[in-house]
Structure 1
Amino acid sequence: MTRYVALGSSMAAGPGIAPRAPGSPRAAMRSARNYPHLLAADLGLEPGPEFVDVSFSGATTAHLLTDSQLGAPPQVEALDGTETLVTITIGGNDVFYVPGLLVATIPSPLRLLPVVGPRLRHALDPTARQVALAGLGGAMRAVARAVRRRSPQARVVFVDYLTLLPPAGQAAFPLRERYVDQGRRTGERLAAATAAAAAATGCELVAAGAASREHHAWSADPWSVGARVPLPGRPLAYHPNATGMRAVADLVKAHLEAG
């Protein structure tokens, strides 16, 4: 029997893509049309014992390994050793990738507010980001080792983040150029850390970021969305749209079929 477990952050969960996955925590913002659900359907797997999606918006590597997230247990606890497939999309929240883009989009006076202001400014702090990036590789390898230890028979596939930002020289209104550059560099470092962790631990890689370079949020055929006001029933800013989730599911399926 095939058992597929999906682990990850909002880039796997698909916040704002309706409908919400039945029975999932509202705080997870987990879509029934995210790439794990679409892939499971393509593989003929039904939610339940043979398909478990524990992706959770806002998750960090610590939430996969050791930390509860808003009452949800660490995601690796969903693994029982019978898995034949595990997908992992994680790391961006560790290094303020999407959070930094979101903060850079809001009016700067909000960053001066008491209580919340310091947290907002921290997401844009280049020193804090460099410290976080320096620790990302070790955290990603720890995730891979933990998954392989718990699921020794599984194909463990890292699926990296979609490309969100346009290439150098192209604007990404309303983001200022320095924040676009910072975000682009962070995305590149995240993709490199994901690939390195997969290679170092014998895991597999689906490079969704490379596949989506021409489908960034400001392109003519976007797989993600840029700056936007959050409204019910539509994807959150700087996250995959339904087209992007379908594309990622197709990429993972093609990778699995290729061997």
Structure 2
Amino acid sequence: MSGPGGYVALGSSMAAGPGIPPRAPGSPRLAGRSARNYPHLVAEALSLRLIDVTYSGATTANILGESQFGAPPQLEALDDGPGARAQLVTITIGGNDIGYVPMLSAATTPAALRRVPLLGARLRELLDPAAREAALRTLEVSMRAVGQAVRAQVPDARVMFVDYLTLLPPATEPAPPLSARHAELGRHLADRLATITAEAAADTGCEIVRAAEASRDHHAWSADPWTLGTGFALAFLFGKPAPLHPNAAGMAAVADLIVAQWRR
């Protein structure tokens, strides 16, 4: 293949970087795709030709077969063409399947909203530990399906699952305005998501980049955060960083982890 090698980035907002300026040229506004997200930084560092189809709100289904706001399933980026000749594929996905950030956002809403018809039912479901456990069990299957599908499409590429940056402080530290109970549920979801991601990588012949582990001391309530705390969920639509998501420092840190792993 002539020219720079190919790199395809798949995933949700944790890879897209909503609200980190500037927005990736030509990208859908709803994607929240930053020109300084980790895919762009990795492509720049490794001189790879980037195809970035990360999209805020994406689930494993949006990688495997479901369109999202008119965007084709992300797996199609690996079809015939530059994507099919990719040397590197990264995948950051799963949080939306289990309602991880939505659950943390729901926990910050006034209790009165949880009694409102329709909206209240959804908020209560997000905060229900049993419902979150059921979502985790489903994710175990779908995350493995993502790894299998990507590996089948690009058998010669290096495929790296990249787990989520740590959002919450350890149990010994408060995370206002989250209650202790909701913060603990959030930590449980984060820990299980990291485990499921690593297991899917191992089971499908992919690599794992452990961003969660590397960022334990850089949670959103720390002195040197790589993620943002709570706030208005749709802030990125107004040019503001998205709460409970990576900041620019976090994206740079994840990019460094991927580049270091590539060079080993």
User: What TM-score bracket applies, with the shorter chain setting the length?
Assistant: over 0.9
Task: Give 1:76's aligned residue.
Answer: 75
Q: Which runs of 5+ in 1 are unaligned?
A: none
Residue 17 of structure 1 aligns to a residue whose secondary structure is coil
Task: Give 1:91's aligned residue.
Answer: 94
Residue 117 (1) aligns with residue 120 (2): yes
Provide the TM-score with structure 1 as the length reference: 0.95
Residue 145 (1) aligns with residue 148 (2): yes
**Which structure 2 residues correspond to residues 171-250 of structure 1 after superposition, within 5 A?**
171-229=174-232, 230=235, 232-250=238-256
For these two proteins, the number of residue pairs brought into alignment is 254
Residue 162 (1) aligns with residue 165 (2): yes
Q: Deviations over 1:57-95 (max 9, x none)?
A: 011101100111111111000103211100000001111
Q: Which amino acid aligns with 1:34?
A: N
Cα distance in 1, alignment partners of residues 34 and 121 from structure 2? 31
Offset at residue 227 of structure 1 (A): 1.1
Residue 51 of structure 2 aligns to a residue whose secondary structure is strand
Cα distance in 2, alignment partners of residues 123 and 153 from structure 1? 39
Cα distance in 2, alignment partners of residues 121 and 154 from structure 1? 42
Q: Aligned residues: percent identity? A: 62
Cα distance in 1, alignment partners of residues 188 and 259 from structure 2? 28
Q: Which amino acid aligns with 1:210?
A: E
Offset at residue 18 of structure 1 (A): 1.2
Residue 14 (1) aligns with residue 13 (2): no
Residue 167 of structure 2 aligns to a residue whose secondary structure is coil
Q: CA RMSD in A?
A: 1.1
Cα distance in 2, alignment partners of residues 117 and 42 from structure 1? 46
Task: Give 2:60's aligned residue.
Answer: 61
The 10-residue stretch of structure 1 (238-247 or 225-234) with the greater mean CA deviation from structure 2: 225-234
Q: Which runs of 5+ in 2 are unaligned?
A: none
Q: Deviations over 1:191-225 (max 9, x none)?
A: 00000011111100100000000000000100000
Provide the TM-score with structure 2 as the length reference: 0.93
Offset at residue 111 of structure 1 (A): 2.2
Cα distance in 2, alignment partners of residues 138 and 214 from structure 1? 30
Residue 95 of structure 1 aligns to a residue whose secondary structure is coil
Q: Which amino acid aligns with 1:68?
A: S
Q: Which amino acid aligns with 2:257?
A: L
Q: Deviations over 1:90-137 (max 9, x none)?
A: 001111111100111122212222332222222112121111111211
Residue 94 of structure 1 aligns to a residue whose secondary structure is coil
Q: Which amino acid aligns with 1:139?
A: S
Q: Deviations over 1:10-61 (max 9, x none)?
A: 100111111111111111111111100111111123xxxx310000001110
Cα distance in 2, alignment partners of residues 52 and 117 from structure 1? 39
Offset at residue 233 of structure 1 (A): 3.1
Cα distance in 2, alignment partners of residues 132 and 225 from structure 1? 25
Offset at residue 168 of structure 1 (A): 1.1
Offset at residue 235 of structure 1 (A): 1.7
Residue 70 of structure 1 aligns to a residue whose secondary structure is coil
Offset at residue 234 of structure 1 (A): 3.0
Cα distance in 2, alignment partners of residues 223 and 24 from structure 1? 24
Task: Give 1:43's aligned residue.
Answer: 46
